[in-house]
């Protein structure tokens, strides 16, 4: 009995020690988060100013205490209107960058049947994920953040509560097969351990902080927290999605009721943690600790499930800058010139009246002004009221306004033809206008390349997660030839993200791509030696020109090729017989291509394909008899 009591006491002490360790770790995580917040406080204030200038609130600045404040007018009569050139510039850049949508297609490294199969399955997985998640919308949101604040992020995770239902647990809850989720994050949510790191690869530790209702925290982590009122600009992106309300007095900061900040700290693999570390804390409680969950690196290593996208890179800085940062001083100067100009015009129109002291009722005159037909009664013997000569509008106002307008083009990287949809007066030829458009495109090349790299890396991580978690056979629906739906099964062994290459194709717009195809056709470069266009190439050209479902303009040769490709997959495992309705010549060519692509190295597969080709030849011989 005594031994049992000692064991219980020992176990109790161990539990208490473990609880103390968890509380200490949670406190250390929150202190680390607070230190990182303080280290980049000025950066966040700069991002807030950018967002204010974009929305038209352009008379704000950072106080000596490091907080945002509204600039007070020097005199009550000063004009304080905003003439927003930043918003249309950002709109134009976003419109241009919306055309940068890399095609998440996969190209095999060789003509081997296994590489072709892997590339096809991987390409269709990426297409299916892009359609399910509406990846274009996610990229657009991330691009908006990077254009305004300079940096944005994608978070790629595996959601076990998503996907098709495959059963139920002992409590009757649905079990799902899981699927990939991609979320666009603002820079306010991501905190690196070093602000001087120039990429995610140089960061050793990364924190993702977000505000969540305590009810959702309990549902996800099984921990009940008291909750609190969170008033922070940094978590504004979650207000609309989660139904949290703004202050009743109309303040700019969102108020999160009964919520808590969930801090996810990711640590890269090191000597102490060979598989990395993920620690999650909220409200002084440790919610989770363990290894990095995803083997999402190019060589199967565990890395951060984040992808970084920037507008303009800065040397020696983790967070990039944006065109809004560059345009703010210019916007301030432009507002000042326009407002002073309007004040001068108002002074010319309303006039400045000089009156002798005590000769008129000055208060009534100041309140009512000089309306047409107004009778002014002044003291006898006094000098009559008169308007002061304010002169004419100085020409410097016009010159300064024109100079600032031209500098907007230089600072924003957008020419007059892109910003105003109007050609410059000194450029009249079509060639000159095209050169201006190409110059605009080259000025935005760095931003466009960052979008391409981010989407390409996101696609790679998607495939890595499928390879890690799609262990059982899964069904994928894809669009086949002629807009028809095809279903096929795959598992993790059919996926590869190491031996593939992503085709972006974003260097040209869709219209330029179609014009290039028509130019190649007019030059005769797409025809064979007899001057004819093959049926297969004709179908591919129709698809490229946007007539993929134009069935009346297509024959069935493409369907025969698809059937032969499916038969090649079947022949890799078992025999298959040819059908009488096959286009035997097309089938023989496709099966021969499979043999020459590496199938001849496998004796059993070679024999099955050879027998299948022989059955096609038998049908040809019968037809010729």
Q: What is the DSSP annotation of 318-335? A: SS-B-HHHHHHHHHHHHH
- DSSP conformation letters of 16-58: HHHHHHHHHHHHHHHHHHHHHHHHTHHHHHHHHHHHHHHHT--
Q: What angle do CA 339, 345, 350 make, to 5 degrees?
A: 120
How far apart are the C-alpha atoms of 255 and 240, rounded to whole Å? 11
Residue 109 scores a pLDDT above 90:
no
Q: What pLDDT score was predicted for residue 432? A: 58
Share of the chain above pLDDT 70, in %: 76
Q: What are phi and psi of 445, to 5 degrees?
A: -60, -40
Confidence at residue 477, expressed as pLDDT on a 0 to 100 scale: 61
Position 621 scores a pLDDT of: 85
Phi-psi domain of 524 (left: phi exceeds 0; alpha: psi -120 through 50; beta: other): left
The DSSP element (H or E) to which 477 belongs, if any, is: strand 474-479
Mean pLDDT in residue range 52-57: 89
CA dist 280 and 285 (Å) reads 9
Helices assigned H by DSSP within 375-444: 395-412, 416-419, 430-443
What local confidence, expressed as pLDDT, does residue 25 receive?
94
487, containing H or E segment = strand 485-490
Q: Of the ranges 1-5, 192-196, 361-365, 538-542, which one carries the lowest mean pLDDT score?
A: 1-5
**pLDDT score of 493 more than 60:** yes
pLDDT of 337 strictly over 60: yes
Mean pLDDT of the chain: 79
Query: Are the C-beta atoms of 212 and 258 separated by less than 8 Å?
Result: no
User: Closest Cα partner for 232 from 212, 263, 254, 247?
Assistant: 254
d(C-alpha 439, C-alpha 445), whole Å: 10
Higher pLDDT, 252 or 233: 233
| pTM across the whole model | 0.75
Tens of pLDDT along 511-568?
A: 667 777 888 878 777 777 777 777 667 767 777 776 654 544 445 776 788 788 888 8
What confidence category does residue 1 fall into, taking pLDDT thresholds of 50, 70 and 90? very low
Mean pLDDT computed over 114-139: 82
CA distances from 356 to 365, 384, 540 (A): 13, 8, 89
How does DSSP classify residue 171?
T
Choose the most confident range, by mean pLDDT, from 25-34, 117-126, 491-500.
Answer: 25-34
For residue 309, the model assigns a pLDDT of 95
Handedness of CA 79, 80, 83, 85 (dihedral sign): positive
Per-residue pLDDT at 270 exceeds 60: yes
């Amino acid at each position: 009995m005594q031994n049992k009591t000692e064991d219980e006491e020992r176990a109790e002490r161990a539990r208490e020690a473990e609880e103390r360790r968890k509380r200490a770790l949670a406190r250390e995580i929150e202190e680390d988060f607070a230190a990182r917040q303080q280290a980049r406080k000025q950066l966040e204030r700069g991002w807030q100013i950018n967002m204010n200038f974009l929305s038209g609130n352009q008379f704000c600045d950072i106080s000596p205490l490091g907080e945002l404040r509204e600039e007070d007018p020097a005199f009550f009569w000063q004009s304080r209107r905003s003439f927003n050139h930043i918003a249309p510039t950002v709109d134009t850049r976003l419109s241009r960058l919306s055309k940068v949508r890399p095609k998440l297609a996969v190209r095999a490294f060789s003509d081997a049947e296994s590489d072709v199969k892997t590339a096809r399955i991987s390409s269709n997985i990426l297409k299916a994920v892009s359609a399910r998640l509406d990846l274009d919308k996610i990229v657009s949101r991330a691009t908006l953040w990077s254009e305004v604040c300079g940096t944005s992020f994608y978070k790629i995770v595996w959601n076990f509560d998503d996907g098709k239902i495959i059963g139920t647990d002992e409590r009757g809850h649905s079990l799902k097969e899981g699927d990939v989720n991609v979320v666009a994050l603002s820079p306010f949510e991501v905190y690196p351990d070093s602000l001087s790191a120039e990429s995610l690869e140089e960061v050793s530790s990364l924190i993702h902080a977000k505000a969540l209702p305590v009810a959702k925290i309990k549902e996800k982590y099984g921990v009940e927290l008291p909750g609190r009122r969170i008033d922070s600009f940094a978590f504004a992106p979650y207000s609309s999605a989660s139904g949290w309300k703004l202050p009743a007095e109309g303040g700019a900061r969102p108020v999160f009721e009964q919520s808590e900040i969930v801090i996810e700290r990711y640590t890269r693999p090191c000597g102490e943690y060979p598989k990395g570390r993920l620690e999650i804390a909220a409200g002084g409680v440790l919610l989770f600790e363990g290894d990095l969950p995803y083997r999402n690196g190019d060589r199967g290593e565990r890395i951060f499930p984040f992808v970084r996208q920037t507008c303009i890179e800065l040397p020696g800085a983790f967070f990039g800058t944006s065109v809004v940062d560059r345009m703010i001083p210019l916007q301030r100067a432009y507002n000042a010139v326009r407002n002073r100009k309007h004040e001068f015009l108002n002074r010319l129109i309303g006039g400045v009246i000089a009156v002798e002291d005590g000769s008129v009722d000055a208060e009534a005159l100041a309140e009512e002004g000089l309306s047409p037909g107004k009778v002014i009664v002044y003291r006898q013997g006094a000098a009559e009221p008169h308007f002061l000569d304010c002169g004419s509008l100085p020409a410097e106002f016009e010159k300064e306004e024109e100079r600032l307008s031209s500098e907007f083009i230089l600072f924003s990287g957008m020419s007059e033809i892109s910003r105003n949809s109007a050609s410059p007066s000194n450029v009249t030829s079509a060639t000159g206008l095209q050169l201006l458009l190409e110059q605009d495109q080259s000025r935005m090349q760095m931003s466009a390349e960052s979008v391409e790299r981010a989407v390409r890396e996101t696609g790679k991580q998607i495939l890595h997660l499928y390879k890690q978690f799609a262990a059982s056979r899964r069904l994928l629906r894809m669009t086949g030839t002629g807009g028809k739906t095809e279903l096929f099964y795959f598992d993790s062994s059919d996926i590869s993200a190491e031996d593939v290459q992503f085709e972006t194709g974003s260097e040209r717009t869709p219209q330029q791509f179609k014009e290039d195809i028509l130019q190649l056709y007019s030059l005769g470069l797409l025809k064979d030696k007899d001057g004819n266009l093959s049926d297969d190439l004709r179908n591919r050209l129709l698809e490229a020109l946007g007539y993929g479902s134009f069935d009346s303009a297509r024959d069935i040769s493409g369907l025969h090729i698809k059937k032969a490709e499916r038969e090649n997959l079947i022949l890799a495992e078992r025999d298959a017989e040819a059908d009488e309705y096959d286009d035997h010549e097309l089938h023989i060519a496709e099966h021969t291509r499979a043999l020459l692509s590496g199938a001849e190295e496998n004796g059993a597969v070679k024999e099955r394909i050879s027998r299948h080709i022989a059955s096609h030849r038998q049908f040809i011989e019968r037809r010729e008899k």
